[in-house]
Amino acid sequence: MGIKKINSLESENSKLQNAFLKNDLSLVVEIYTKKAKLDLKMGNKENAYFNFTQAYIFALEDGLEVSDEIYKILLKAKREI
Amino acid sequence: MCSDLSKVNLPISKANGLPNSHYIDEQVFQKEKECLLYDNWSGVAFEHDVVNPGDALPLNLLGFPLLIVRDYTNQICVYQNVCRHRGMILVEEKKNIRGTIRCPYHSWSYNLDGSLRATPHIGGPGYNHHKDLNKKSLRLKKIRSYVYLGVIFVNISDSAEPFEKTNCSLMSRWSEFNKPLFSCKNYSSFQLELKCNWKLAVENFCESYHLPWVHPELNVVSKLEDHYNIESKDQFSGQGSYHYTQISDNGRVFVDFENLSESWKTGAEYIALYPNVLLGVHRDHIFSVILQPISKDFTLERVNIFYASSRSINKDYSKLREDNFLFWKSVLSEDIFVVEGMQKGRYGKFFDGGRFSPAMDGPTHNFHGWVANQYSA
Ligand code: FES
Ligand SMILES: [Fe+2]
């Protein structure tokens, strides 16, 4: 893993941490969804559905409409019923 | 410690009150917790403690964790505040829930109707279902609840008759007050701390015998002989007065309940609804008191005043509301030394539960009889 990749991971994680600190759940959902989509693109399915799940749970908690979309993604991949 | 209840249910002229153990013994207290508080309809919160849809209030009744929720259809629901996974407390602090109730441990997520909505990673990372776990069978445990006169009542053990059946006689006696109630933030509520067993606060509230001694100022407007006893076997007891006088501020008085019968123009009633709620009704306002037992000898007394009309909570009534608030706060505070004094008296080991005044102590005797029956059942 190159230095650049580690740095960008660290900054993603601190963004996530900050979003949690501010209790900004829609930002949390956005960050996890972004990660998940990137994972899918990279062909890393397991990470992708892990991150979609994280996004889904916080979207539900915050009553965000986007939870429906994420649910459909999880359902299609047989990760939800 | 002895809990001989054989004398409690004798006719009042021969009866003794509840033995000391019912106030100072931990084992008796634990048994009473079950048979008096959990097996009956106990008051735990006010309706306005969860004012907005999504409001969730965690509290406990002697350790039993409750979660009171106002759902998005404006209904109040009460749940056992415990996750169906590893038994984590779901909500630790009062908050407004916008979507689901997410358990802070592994994030099982519940809808406000108690159903289990999501179980993340339950089948392994990224797999949110498992063939052996059926979400439908894992709802939050619902606790029966009922709202009456602004108070949320719960029957924790699910063994009581429906609230309306248990309390039908009070509800019909006071049907004219079962109407929308109005309360505002300032000068509506206060809390007192009582270093006594909660039952002593019930006993003191339901009798008028002490009024001339403990509340001499009340005796000026409403004399002892203007009072009558109220006793309903196995449900409630209290006192009524034929001489309620409205407080006024330069001729301004609070607005009355609509369509009240003539007798309520000067009448008022104060009733202890067993086990732990104290209520007072008047033509223009009511108050509700929740006695929250904390331990065998410590009780929180939460008081809320409700008005009969939305007009009475307008700004131009604020002086009058302040006066009314200060009046009730001072009356109920005057009782603190007697309930605490009776608690201390229960350590006198030769005290035999006490003898009653057959004329004046009927409401207390009625309550003791109820306690004894529940305890021995
Ligand atoms: S204890 Fe609640 S999700 Fe595990
Ligand atoms: Fe009193």
Which residues of A are less than 8 Å from B125 in CB distance? 46, 49-50
Q: Is residue A12 situated within a structural domain?
A: yes
Q: Quick one: which of B303, B320, B324, B300 has its CA closest to B311?
A: B320
**Atom of ligand 1 at shortest range from CA of B108:** 3
Q: What is the pLDDT of residues B28-56, one digit of tens each?
A: 999 999 999 999 999 999 999 999 999 99
Q: What is the pLDDT of residues A35-62, one digit of tens each?
A: 999 999 999 999 999 999 999 999 999 9
d(C-alpha B270, C-alpha B131), whole Å: 57
Token pair 């908690």 is at which residue?
Answer: A61
- Residue B185, pLDDT score: 87
β B116-118/B109-110 pair status: antiparallel
d(C-alpha B196, C-alpha A51), whole Å: 54
- Residue A4, pLDDT score: 64
Please give the backbone phi and psi of residue B138, each rounded to the nearest 5 degrees, phi first.
Answer: -120, 50
Q: If you average pLDDT over residues A21-45, what whole number do you get?
A: 97
Q: Quick one: which of B287, B114, B277, B86 has its CA closest to B187?
A: B287
- Residue A3, pLDDT score: 61
Q: Quick one: which of B196, B203, B343 has its CA closest to B272?
A: B203
Query: What is the tally of structural domains in chain A?
Result: 1
Q: If you average pLDDT over residues B320-331, what whole number do you get?
A: 96
CATH class of B42-155: mainly beta
> Which residue owns the Cα nearest ligand 1 atom 1?
B86
- Residue B376, pLDDT score: 94
B136 in A contact zone (CB under 8 Å): no
Closest ligand to Cα B81: 1
* B96, B56 contact by CB (below 8 A): yes
Q: Is residue A16 situated within a structural domain?
A: yes
- Which of A35, A49, A56, A60 to substitute to test the interface with B, most B CBs within 10 Å? A60
Q: Is the CB of B106 under 6 A from ligand 1?
A: yes
Boundaries of domain holding A47 = 3-76
Confidence of residue B302 (pLDDT cuts 50, 70, 90): very high
Q: Do A49 and B127 touch (CB under 8 A)?
A: yes
Query: Is the model's pLDDT at B251 over the cut of 60?
Result: yes
Q: If you average pLDDT over residues B246-273, what whole number do you get?
A: 95
Q: Is residue A50 situated within a structural domain?
A: yes
What was the ipTM of the complex prediction? 0.92
With b for 16 or more beta-carbon neighbours within 10 A and e for fewer, the B240-279 pattern comes to: bbeebebeebeeeebbbbeebeeebebbbbbbbbbbbbbb
**DSSP one-letter code for B135:** G
Q: Is residue A81 situated within a structural domain?
A: no
pTM, full prediction: 0.96
**Atom of ligand 1 at shortest range from CA of B88:** 1
Q: Which of B88-102, B118-132, B224-238 has the lowest mean pLDDT?
A: B224-238
Percent of chain B scoring above 90 in pLDDT: 94
Residue type, A27: L
Query: Is the model's pLDDT at B2 over the cut of 70?
Result: no
Query: Who's near B122: CB < 8 A, 6+ residues apart?
Result: B128, B129, B130, B133
Query: Who's near B191: CB < 8 A, 6+ residues apart?
Result: B300, B301, B302, B303
For residue B45, the cross-strand partners are B152
d(C-alpha B209, C-alpha B236), whole Å: 17
Q: Quick one: which of B158, B156, B143 has its CA closest to B33?
A: B156
Query: Is the model's pLDDT at B1 over the cut of 60?
Result: no
d(C-alpha A32, C-alpha A54), whole Å: 7
- Residue A8, pLDDT score: 72
Q: If you average pLDDT over residues B12-35, what whole number do you get?
A: 98
Q: What is the pLDDT of residues B154-196, one digit of tens each?
A: 999 999 999 999 999 999 999 999 999 999 888 999 999 999 9
Q: What is the pLDDT of residues B67-105, one digit of tens each?
A: 999 999 999 999 999 999 999 999 999 999 999 999 999
> Which residue owns the Cα nearest ligand 1 atom 3?
B106
Q: Quick one: which of B144, B79, B143, B147 has its CA closest to B288?
A: B147
For residue B68, the cross-strand partners are B57, B78
d(C-alpha A40, C-alpha B18), whole Å: 72
What CATH architecture is B181-376? Alpha-Beta Complex (3.90)
Query: Is the model's pLDDT at A7 over the cut of 90?
Result: no
End-to-end CA distance of chain B: 19
Q: Do A80 and B98 touch (CB under 8 A)?
A: no
Query: Is the model's pLDDT at A2 over the cut of 60?
Result: no
Q: Do B100 and A60 touch (CB under 8 A)?
A: yes
B120 in A contact zone (CB under 8 Å): yes
Query: Is the model's pLDDT at B127 over the cut of 90?
Result: yes
Q: Where are the domains of chain B?
A: 42-155, 181-376
Confidence of residue B223 (pLDDT cuts 50, 70, 90): confident
Greatest Cα pair distance in chain A? 40
Which residues of A are less than 8 Å from B109 in CB distance? 57, 60-61
Q: Choose between A71 and A10: higher pLDDT.
A: A71
Residue type, B332: L
